Amino acid sequence: MTTRFTTVKSRVEHIKAPVADVVADSSAIENTVKDVIAAVRERGDAAVREFSERFDKVAPETLEVTMAERLAAVEALDPQTRADTEFAIANVSAFAKAQLATLAPLEVELLPGLHLGHRIIPIETVGCYVPGGRYPLLSAPIMTIVPAKVAGCDNVVACLPPNAHEAMIAGCHLSGADRIFRVGGAQAIAAMALGTESIPQVDKIFGPGNAFVNEAKRQSFGPVGIDQLAGPSEIYVVADDTGNAELIATDLLAQAEHDIRTRVGLITTSRRLAEETLAAVERQLLDLPTAPTAGQAWRDYGEIAVCATEQDMIDYSDFIAAEHLQVHTADAKEFALKLRNYGSLFIGENASVVYSDKCCGTNHTLPTMAAGRYTGGLWVGSYVKTCTHQFLDPEGVEQVAPPAIRQSASEGLEGHRRAAAARVK
């Protein structure tokens, strides 16, 4: 099958190509999740507890975290960890407020007597899924909960696995969650989508998770909104001959330690840099404590592509549409303007993905699996609705009724024609 990217791929030479396809057969996951959703719909909290015991080996008697437990989790935080968490919350909140300021209500008189406009309305109740994962990722609740509070959502519900580190509860509390529940996996998504005796039904669900969480979001979409469907994490670097192989290798492996299915890659016009980066990755893996994870991700999904021209490098980067895209070129700011498809852009060698992942202020919940071709990442605008309205005075009716009457008649929609004509004197 020929696509618009066919010729792009043919112009790339691989020093290292991926050896595995990140898209796996998900039929078994689909069936399991379907059963989970059906059970939660039918039996509510009882089903949630059963699945928690089955999948997480923990069945908490009380699903909701009490205020006393929340405060105890905060109190137990190491002082420096709390200070760093609050630093990240402040930055994410400040950036979200700046973004929200770019969204404004609109009122315009398009024609005499025809008044149109829109309002920016926060979503009333949102659910934030906070993954457990291999490590207690303290930035995870910040990225989904803080923008919701900045947007003005009335009710922010957080769910996290019952075996998640207590510091994650503290993170949810400090980020501003109104209610926190010890429920993880597909059953958490089902509970928030459907509502149970304990867990309120939400209007939209946010946050990444494992394949079961992702599938539950997919199957729940419609009656409830979702932010996006997340695949394994990704990082790519576009670089010319000025790139630093050791630094690039360090950044690639930093992201690769997330998961064995992380996609990492370098796209460059420099064969020298490509070969040096390949050697640097292998060398750094020798003493990286997380090498069992990062090394497998590199072996299976790592990529180093050499392009003949700068335009080929741009085209191939836009084809990949990486979740995280770092720019290591001689004039990184100028080069960045030429790139179109990515989740978030990291301009220049100083802009490491790790800073955004943790605390610099931009959101780390980003599109993967080439979704950067059509959408951006999570932001405060994801938590509001832009809803239009219209008001017509008699002069406005005179402007729009005649063409509406004629169009309705030509379409054979008599009810429409009558409705349009009813306002005409």
First and final CA of the chain: distance in angstroms?
59
* Contact present, 170 and 140 (Cβ < 8 Å): no
Determine which helix (DSSP H) or strand (DSSP E) holds 264, and give its type and residue range: strand 263-268
* Contact present, 238 and 317 (Cβ < 8 Å): yes
Cβ neighbours of 78 (radius 10 Å): 10
323 is catalytic: yes
**What's the Rg (C-alpha) of the chain?**
25
Catalytic entry in 215, 234, 323, 349: 323
CA angle centred on 342, ends 339 and 348, rounded to 5°: 60
d(CA 347, CA 37): 42
Strand order in the sheet with 114-122: 106-111, 114-122, 384-392
Catalytic entry in 173, 234, 257, 324: 324
* Contact present, 244 and 352 (Cβ < 8 Å): no
Cβ neighbours of 157 (radius 10 Å): 27
DSSP strand E in 143-194: where? 155-160, 179-182
- Tokens 């979740």, residue located: 323
324 is catalytic: yes
- Residues with a catalytic annotation lie at 323-324
